[in-house]
Every structure is written in structure tokens, then in C-alpha cells.
Structure 1
Amino acid sequence: MGQNQDEPTVGQLVANASRDLSTLVRSEIELAKTELKKTAAAAGIGAGLFGAAAFLALLAIILLSIAAAYGVSAIGLHPGWAFLIVAGFYLLIALVMALIGKAQLGKAKGPQRAIETSKESVEALKAIGKGD
């Protein structure tokens, strides 16, 4: 059975398939790089906007704290006492948040099941190594 000169050989078919696959993989990698560049740029802009929003919120909290202190002062207290009252209020909030955070950290435990299964795996490997 002779081959027709117009038909490619198996070796040529394999070489063509390999070349096409290589080109396809390179194209997919280039597409992924392009998409990642666009995504990274969008993420950077988003992070910058979040940072700016956080800064403005911090400024607003400071200004509102000053306004609250002057509001307390308006009811007849000396401004120094009014500012101490506002600061004390913030310290009280911070203390409550710290106590809640400490309680939450106390509830946190390590990966207990993963530790148990790894210990079991180590024991099983030791048993296999000893020939048991």
C-alpha cells in the first residue's frame, strides 16, 4: 500500500499538531497577560479610590468629634471638659471593641481536623516504613 504524495505522513501530522498546539498555548498565554494587565489596572484604581474614601471618612470623624465637643461646650461646660468627655466616649467605645475582639480571638482555634489527619497520616507512613 503506497501513500499518495498529496497526503501528509503521520510524522508531518504530528509535527503540525504539535506546532498548532504550541501556537494555541502561546496565544492563550498572551490573552491571559492582556486580561491580567487590565484587571490589575482596574484593581489599582479601585484600591486608590478606597484609600481616598477612607482618608476622607477619617477627616469627617475628626471634624464631627470637634463639632460634638463644641456642642457639649454649648450646654455650658468649659471647652476643655467638653473635649475630654468626647475623648472619654471614644475610649469607652475602644475598650468595648477590644473586649469583644479578645473574646472573638479566644474562640478561634487552629485547624484541628487537619492536624489530626496529618498525625494519622504520619503514623500510617511510619507503620508502612516499618513493614507493619
Structure 2
Amino acid sequence: MAAPNSQRPVPEIISDLFTQLATLLRKETQLARAEVSDNMAGIGRGLGLLIGGAVLLIPALVILLQAAVAALAQGYGLAPYWSALIIGGGVLILGIILLLIGASRLKIENLVPNRTVHQLRQDASVAKQQVSQDDELHRAA
């Protein structure tokens, strides 16, 4: 690249500017694609683990809940339907809480390529500074 003090024709400067801008945009697009792909892969892995865990936990939870109902009925002398209602209500509340927490973590904002957006803002700032410096050099000449 030529030194900043050398005299280059304006068409050459503009040509270099457009070439560098095109290269920058292409690289930023590649970065954004890679970041979104990485985010999607992470979400996919998370959903797979979530489904696998749910499949394994459901039968175990049913057995444990049946044991809790039997323990309440036998230990406290409650009718089986009251024991089932107490255990079922507690598990329902816990399940709703877990669903709300899980849904809040699967928002679209998690897919936004934040690093790329930040980098684009920095690139725009640097480009503005360079254009203003080139303009000042051109005016001084």
C-alpha cells in the first residue's frame, strides 16, 4: 500500500476504496454466516440434549411421583386421591416454572451475531475516520 504522503490520483483512491469496501463486506458477511451457523448449532445441540433428557426423565418421574403419592397416603393417612392431588399440583407448578425459564432462553435475540454487528460498527467508524483524513489531505494539497 502506498504511503499516506504520496500523491495518488483521485480515481485510483476511489478504486482502492471500492475494492477494499467490497472485500470488507465479503469478509463481514462470511463472519456473520459463521457466527449464525455456530449459534444455530449450539441451539440444536441444546434442544437435542433437552429432548433426550426429557425422554429419560419422564418414566423416572412417574415412578417417583407414584411413590410420593403412596407415601403420603400411607404415612399421613390421607385418601389416595388427596395424596395424588397434592403431589400432582406441586409437580404442575414446578413444571410450569421450568417451561417458562426454558422458553425465555430460546428467544430469537440469541441468534443475532453480536460480535459481527460490533465489528461492522467499528469498521464503519474507521472508514469515516479514513475518509475524513483523506479529505483533509486532499484539501491541504
Under a length normalisation based on structure 2, what TM-score does the superposition of the two structures give?
Answer: 0.47
With a CA cutoff of 8 Å and minimum separation of 6, indicate the structure with the bigger relative contact order: 2
Under a length normalisation based on structure 1, what TM-score does the superposition of the two structures give?
Answer: 0.50
